[in-house]
A and B are shown apart, each in its own frame.
Chain A
Amino acid sequence: MLDIITGFLEATLRMACPIMLASLGALFTARSGIINFAMEGIMITGAFFGVYGSYLTGSPWLGALLGMAGGLAASLILGIMSITVKVDQVVAGTGVNVLFLGLTSYFCTVLYPNGQPSSVNAFQSVVVPGLSSIPVIGVFFRQNLLTYITFLLVPVIWYLLNKTTFGLCLRSVGEQPHAADSLGIHVDRMRYIAIILAGLLGGLGGAALSLGQVSCFIENMTSGRGYVAWSAVTVGKYSPIGIMGASILFGGAEAVQLRLQAMGIEIPQQFFQMLPYVLTMVVLAGVVGRTVGPKAIGKPFVKGER
């Protein structure tokens, strides 16, 4: 029984980490008033360049850096479309997703002339001596460094958003951009900063998938995790701690359904596959309740216009 719980917790952490990173990135854009529907495209780009970077240099860290740069590029397109050009943000985000899903597949054939390697150097788990041998709880102390970083980011981002001038400015831009503007805050500049942070974290989330969970890139390997990351922002009530909970919920639900299938219980497996979605709805309705997003979300800022 303990083995099963340990395995379940371990799988939950592994599956929650990429979603949490991307979701924390998307939080910045959400709080600054931008709907980040492009997270899927940002993550897949991060996943691709993470593996490519590790393939070129042999170091997963440099790979993750390249993945972050790739995520940044994808994110900036969303930024230009929604901040400077002021098009519909959902359409712009969907465009970014389609573009980078195609581009990463294309890069796969162009950048690997001799075929893609079946695996590259990936992140290894770092075992904390002593603590990791505690039954069950020990799993928290034998994860890869990326997972530790992800959980460390939660309080850091909470502090950044709620206790610093930068956070106040960012939130005010998402709530009342015109009021913020009248006080001398550069609305567009704040939103670009949010876009940059979302790109970096989303790219790292993609790399956490391709270099943390597995060690290769497969076309469309994010399989909707970018959208899940965006919904984690809503389920998490636009707060880093809520996002941590939501990501663990999504990861845990998936870990449960895979285990229920593996146990060979005589129920059609579609019911198990439904579980993550049902759980999300139950939690949304029963625990989270009404979520109120930033007031100016989805609205492009035009100076002087009401």
Chain B
Amino acid sequence: MKTKKMLSLALTGVLSMSLLAGCGGSSSGSAQTSAPAPSSSGGSDGEPVKVAMLLTGYINDAGWNQSAYEGLQMAEEEFGIEGAYTEAVPQPDFETVLRDYADQGYDLIIAVGNELSDATLAVAGSFPDTTFAIMNGNSAQAPNVGAYRFNTPQSGFLAGAIAAMYSTDGTVGMIGGTTAPHIKDCVDAFAEGAKYIDPDITALTGYTDSMTDVAKGKEMGMAFIEQGADVLCANANSCSLGVIDAAKEKGIRHIGYISDQYDVAPDTVMVSVVQSNQFMIRAIVESVINGEFTPELHLFGMSEGALYLSDYHGHDDQLTDEQKAKIDEIIEGIKDGSLREAGILPKSTFEQ
């Protein structure tokens, strides 16, 4: 009986450890300050602008957090700011870490992720001289908190237009992971973009209701292909890999999304519309340095460089010169706002 008790204690221990690990953060989030880059531009008073970054994950996660960190490095090199970051901040420490940086006199503190919103809004009032930026945030607060999001109708519209150009049978499809507003915006704009190129095109749209169920993504891709789609696109994190797998298996084309997905299936992925955290962070830092900061919800898109078209990796030989010119024209139209003014490019849900 005693051994059983010991065993039960040990197993309980293992399970509770796993629960803690599941909460996704070590209690000792490592704080590191990277060496200040040689100051070239600097702040208004000659001192380099100090920018701190809070991340809830690790900077080598090959995804969201890593690209944000690379954005900080990019800004360090380009603007000569002094950067610092704390990775894998556990939730109970959000406010403490934010306060620490503000106390140390950082000019701009970037909270990478909507989950940091509440803590940032709670802290910001005590530090009126510090600017706070929330990535993917929904709420800004006067006078010193700004929220930043990608202008996803722009990327969806461009992906739809390009998909329509690659289509030979007149049916394209876009698969979203969830119906979160920024994803739905992109999916709806995809259909608009495809129709802009070919008014008679059939643009299929659907949602997997999962960002991780790669098998369901593949099945949905298969269902779209059965309905005649010959170009697909997907905005559903890992689930997108299933859609690409379906396209590859059935020998149709795919437009990458969020990152350059060429390496996933070189013969299938024609080109990708990239949402870049790097350029997003760079743009945030730039706007603060230039004194253009305003405490509102900012939608960054192509003109800020946060959204852009990847390299074609040679697949542009399947487009005519006319089509390539049209793509450039659309990108220009998105950048200068003319497509938006003409009512062709849909409005983002977050636009006020």
Q: Is the CB of B15 within 8 A of A99?
A: yes
Number of B residues near A (Cβ < 8 Å) is 41
With A15-B215, A98-B18, A262-B227 known as contacts, the answer to whether A84 contacts B7 (CB < 8 A) is yes
Within 8 A of A (CB), among B262-298: 263-265
Let me know if A220 and B212 touch, CB within 8 A.
Answer: yes
Considering the complex, which residues of chain A in the window 73-90 have a beta carbon less than 8 Å from any beta carbon of chain B?
77, 80-81, 84-85, 87
Cross-interface CB contact of B242 among A84, A214, A219, A259, cutoff 8 Å? A214
Which of B21, B179, B202, B226 makes the CB contact (< 8 A) with A259? B226
Contact B227 A119, beta carbon cutoff 8 Å = no
The answer to whether A264 and B11 touch across the interface, beta carbons within 8 angstroms, is no
Q: Among A15, A87, A263, which residue has its beta carbon within 8 angstroms of that of B227?
A: A263
B207 contact from A4, A95, A273, Cβ within 8 A: A273
Alpha-carbon distance between A254 and B213 when the two chains are bound, in angstroms: 13
User: Which residues of A from 105 to 143 have beta carbons under 8 Å from B?
Assistant: 106, 115, 118-119
CA distance A18 to B209 in the complex (A): 20
How many A residues have CB within 8 A of the partner chain?
A: 44
Contact of A221 among B209, B227, B238 (CB under 8 A): B238
Which of A85, A118, A209, A261 contacts B223 (CB under 8 A)? A261
Check B204 against A264 for contact (C-beta < 8 Å): yes
In the assembled complex, which residues on chain B have CB atoms less than 8 Å from the CB atom of A11?
219, 222-223
The answer to whether A209 and B215 touch across the interface, beta carbons within 8 angstroms, is yes
Count chain B CB atoms within 10 A of each CB in A98, A118, A218, A254 and give the residue with the most: A218
Interface string of A33-61 (1 = CB under 8 A from B): 00000000000000000000000000000
Is A7 among interface residues, defined by CB-CB distance under 8 A? yes
Q: Mark B225-265, 1 if CB is under 8 A from A, else 0.
A: 01101000000001001100100000000000000000111
Q: Is B2 an interface residue (CB 8 A)?
A: no
Other-chain residue from A3, A81, A99, A101 in contact with B226 (beta carbon distance below 8 A): A3
A264 touching B205 by the CB < 8 A rule?
yes
Q: Considering the complex, give the chain B residue whose CB is closest to the CB of A119.
A: B245
Q: Indicate whether A259 sits within 8 Å of B212 (C-beta atoms), given known contacts A218-B238, A221-B238, A264-B204.
A: no
Residue numbers of B with Cβ under 8 A of A are 4, 7-8, 11, 14-15, 18-19, 21-22, 62, 173, 179, 202, 204-207, 209-210, 212-216, 218-220, 222-224, 226-227, 229, 238, 241-242, 245, 263-265
